[in-house]
A and B are shown apart, each in its own frame.
Chain A
Amino acid sequence: MLRHIAPITLVAALSLPLPALADPDPADWGAVLSEARGQTVFWNAWGGDPRINAFIEQVGDMLEDRHGVRLTHVRLADTADAVTRVVAERSAGRDSGGAVDVIWINGANFVSMKDNDLLFGPFAEALPNWRYVDTEANPAVLTDFTVPVDGLGAPWAMFRMVFEYDSAAVSEPPRSLDALRNWIAANPGRFTYPQPPDFLGTSFLKQAMWGLVDDPAVLMGPTDAVDYDAVTAPLWAYLDEITPNLWRQGRAYPANEPALGQLLADGEIDIGFAFNPGRASAAIADGELPGTIRTFVFEQGTLGNSSYLSIPYNAANKAGALVLANLILDPEVQALAQDPDVLGFQTVLGMHLLDNEDRARFEALELGIATLPPQDMGIALDEPHPSWMTQLAEDWVTRYGIAD
């Protein structure tokens, strides 16, 4: 669900930060709670989706009611903005009292912050609500894009790429990369993807790579460990073939996931995709997508990942940030997020770890008209190493990002 990952190589001149002296210790949760009371937490999260914004507002209310911590949603146009801010603060020597308390993060942004020691922690596995997290069924909560999380981020939702199509226009959706190619050729102008380096657009490139490489294992390591040009040659060939038949003949691309969804809603395209299996149902319920929209996945499987809350090393309100990270893992909040009328995000909690009352909250949730039942969701493909995201996006810009 995170937008835009850009090349991450922080300048070497950045020296190691010194941890602030009195950082809160999540093992002493009572002390965390009392320190947090009265703080205002600045949660930096992408602000382009009203449903997510409303959810964050709701969480803010609960945070204040239960723990006396106020929440401000810093609405980012791009998650990288928050990373930039922390980096800039460190360059300016501000090693405490930083502007960013919590970032909704994953992928290359997470790796960048982790590699450059810009994160506070480890803290996630010491949170009281960690005991509900199902690490066996969801190993992705411990490994983000092949990189170990090491407790530097609290996972809070699982995401799967699903394709969305208008069943009134498409009788049999293309369930493989090959079928998609043929469908595009037969239906020119009716498919597109967000413009890389947008997160979802680049994810489409990675999804295509999964279908085009002989040995997916190469995707699990950095790009410089393989013969990159040879491995990616089929991808560029595939894109060269479909581009003339894309929406606007590939002369323009939608900016991101909501823009792609709007094209589907306007009937400009017949097939779109999103990283949230519940999005289509929620949008239909809100009257923003036609009721004929349904979802499908590739037979091979589609990319899956999870999102985290991380705390920058210099955050001004770490205690409040910890309380927020714990609250997000609360079964009540997780059930709220999974409600298709609210977000439709897939929980990271294990049902067998919950008590009866909390389990009932999840069982009461309906699936939604366009959402696939769990048995039809197919395999969750691992996210490639973050360097693939960066490198593919960069090469895409060079090849297709500049008009001829």
Chain B
Amino acid sequence: MTLELDRITIARDGAPLVSLSARIEPGQVLTLMGPSGCGKSTLLAAIIGALPPVFALSGRILLEGRDVTALPIEHRRIGILFQEATLFPHLSVAGNLAFAQPRRTPDRGARIDEALAEAGLEGFGPRDPATLSGGQRARVALMRTLLAEPRALLLDEPFSGLDTDRRARIRDFVFQRARERGLPVLLVTHDAEDARAAGGHVLGVDGLETDL
């Protein structure tokens, strides 16, 4: 599984905002750094296929060598984690996880329990997502993303809302799960510590390698 960004340019009203090429190998993390408002999140929106119409995109997005640029979001199989875990408030924890499972998944309930156990959240299935701590929410969101069986993982500052202590643990948890599954990961952050922990290359929105 690889994610390749082939001469991607995002422009608004003719002015280029983001311009880069990159190739992320399975299990690797590419970090994109920059101050807020520089267009990092816009790039993520483009990659998953949710770019607002005011932006113009050129270039190609390739997943496992297949051009997915023209596909709608749900056919791309690219998972995303936001800073706020965006769990669906009307569903239980288990309901959120079940939503992500492909329809033909066998033993749906057992797999949900496994996922919860993997996240250290045994027995949290019937819980109301609104009653979870920030770290718990982040873990549920990750497991939800993984249950959808994505081919790549995008992280939109998913650790910024957590305190320093918990931040490191969640970060390691996420990277470890991604490595185990051989997922290419694109991390967007403005935090150098996150970038260091990711261990891979670090780019700016101009596509140039950044020194930490």
A–B: direct contact at CB < 8 Å: no
